[in-house]
Chain A
Amino acid sequence: MLRVTSPFFALVLSLILSTAALAQQPLQVTIDEGNLEPTPIAIPDFVENGSGDLYGADIAEVVRNDLASSALFTSIPQNAFIETITNIDLRPRFQDWRIIEADALLAGRVTQQPDGRLLVAFRLWDTRLEEQMLGLQFVTAPENWRRVAHKVADAVYERLTGETGYFDTRVVYVAEGTGPDGIPTRRLAIMDQDGANPSYLTDRSYMALLPNYSPSAQQIAYVSFIDGHATTYLYDLETGRQEALFATGTRGLAQVDANGQSLSARFSPDGQSLVVAIERQAGHDIHRFDLRSRQLTRLTDHPADDVEPSFSPEGDRIVFSSARGGGSQLYVMDANGGPAQRITYGEGRYTAPVWSPRGDLIAFVKQRGSQFALGVVRADGSGQERILYEGYFVDSPAWSPNGRVLLFTRGDRSSNGTQYAIWSIDLAGFNLRPAPIRGAASDPAWSPLID
């Protein structure tokens, strides 16, 4: 079946699909369709072979939630099932699954190995063609059962959509609160993509803002106020160790002006350098910092503030926002600096650009009048921008590693001040949903797929 990479043809595509669906073709879920017609999938609790806690039901539940959260799938309730799967190596009675309108059946099994580890195996069936689409197995320590479940969901998603999954990922964000003295608190927190295993990375004693992941998923670049003013820090997730990148005095890896703040840093795709806005005498300019040579190179030198830089996935270009044209707009330049090409021309203030991992689009925040919007524009500035969400406040878009979903900060007006939360929406503008976080949160950073 057709697979279309551009999201701009979502509606047209859905018509083609509904015609094509009449023919007997292999099951294929098209992402660009949004949630217009999610594919029904049956996921029985995984069969358990062995004693002790094998998490057969838990794993199936995580897989169901992952797939349903994409809105590309609906999970058929188990009480509708006719056949009970007891052996995943036998062909299922496909008719029983077609009757309950399951287009796909995921049959899994957890086996306890002699060494105590779990062997998680599954088969994905196309119930209409009566063919196995995928069969895989994973071996892991029992405490990693959630990660295995996410990997199963990623494998199913990839097989059915043709796109890489994004479920075995983590999200770092800013947990917002108020200290006992009434002063706002901003702490870095981390959780699994589905909200499980939440924990704090930093404490209340200083503000932490604007985290970004390294391509290895091992480090976080963020803005720390631990030195009294905004300073770019690197945080190692393995060790919890952190260091200032740019500082006055002797502490930072590279020296900057006294009182000069350094802001949100984003990694190059090869992980070897960072791009970051640093305050100089005349304002903020984009800089590139080589992590190996520790050399800091200034890329822009404009009287207006140049901020919020983000690398293209090839690492050859940088998008940033600048007030050089009057109001804030988005510009693209070579990764080594040079002339910048303006890519947005709409009314209002364009900020917070983030290059899609697929390379073709740049997500942004647009502020016009009293409204904020989350949108995407082609990286070369051609064509029309597309607004995915509009509301009272929007900030800090973050792409899923496959470039199909965006997390963002959403603010809603209330009687006791604006309430900030992280929401997600897919690239087709569908499936707007809150991230599973308790309490106020902002500044999501989405990890790459974890190995």
Chain B
Amino acid sequence: MPDRVRFRRDDARMNIKFLAVASIAALAAACASTPPEDNTQPPTSGPVADQTTPPRGDTYQGPTPGTEAHFVATAGDRVFYDLDQYSLRPEARETLRRQAEWLNAYPGTTILVAGNCDERGTREYNLALGARRANAARDYLVSLGVSPSRISTVSYGKERPSCMQSNEACWAQNRNAITMIQGGSNS
């Protein structure tokens, strides 16, 4: 299955690219007060730990604990899926485990999990597949102790791509479930 391997590699490479884009977006957001959803960053398995530990204080440069930005930096806000699939990959489970930890630490928050698809499918088919992806992420969070009453789900099908180009690297990035903090956060 050489295809599968390639998809995963693309995912990893893309995350780096997307990180650069996201930090520019974050900069712009600081000036233009864009809604927090636009401020999301990619899941980063290595560097995230560095940004989280310092307690809140004058010298702390990271996101305020309990905010959506803190959630994104600590846990990673999205998980990725294989082509035409909605089963969770091992690294997706890892991300969701961090999300569940964060959510259990901030029990007043509520979230929206949005399932997304690449553009290589028909519209209604993708709306259904996106729902499967959102539900798979939700069910795993619930299995980790997050109350289902705190979780809403939505499918955007292929209508809200994170990446707009027509190539495999982009499509792999768009096959995701994105967790957004809806309420109860510190911001």
State the A residues within 8 Å of B (CB).
181, 183-184, 186, 207, 209-210, 223, 228-230, 259, 261, 263-264, 277, 279, 283-284, 305, 307-308, 321, 328, 349, 351-352, 365, 367, 393, 395-396, 411, 413-414, 416-418, 442-443
Contact = CB atoms under 8 A, between A and B. Distances in A.
B125 A321 contact: yes
A308 B153 contact: no
A277 B123 CA distance: 13
A229 B154 contact: yes
Interface stretch (B43-51, B101-109, B157-165): B157-165
Contacts of B38: 181
A-B pairs with lowest CB-CB distance, top 4: A229-B154, A351-B122, A305-B128, A395-B122
B173 interface: no
Interface of B: 34, 38, 84, 119-125, 127-129, 131-132, 152-155, 157, 159-161, 164-166
B109 to A, nearest CB: 18
A365 to B, nearest CB: 5
5 contacts: A307-B125, A307-B128, A393-B120, A395-B123, A411-B119
A412 B164 CA distance: 14
Contacts of A393: 119-120
Contact of A308 (B119, B125, B129): B125
A181 B28 CA distance: 12
Contacts of B131: 261, 279, 284
Contacts of A230: 127, 155, 157
B165 A417 contact: yes
- Is the contact region of chain A dominated by helix, strand, or loop, or is it mixed? strand
A443 B125 contact: no
A416 B167 CA distance: 11
Nearest to A394: B122
B166 A414 contact: yes
A226 to B, nearest CB: 13
B31 to A, nearest CB: 14
Contacts of B121: 349, 351, 367
A58 to B, nearest CB: 37
Contacts of A349: 84, 121, 125
Given A229-B154, A261-B131, A305-B132, A210 B124 contact: yes
Contact of B132 (A283, A395, A411, A417): A283
B10 to A, nearest CB: 15
Given A209-B123, A352-B122, A277 B128 contact: yes
Contacts of B152: 259
Nearest to B164: A417
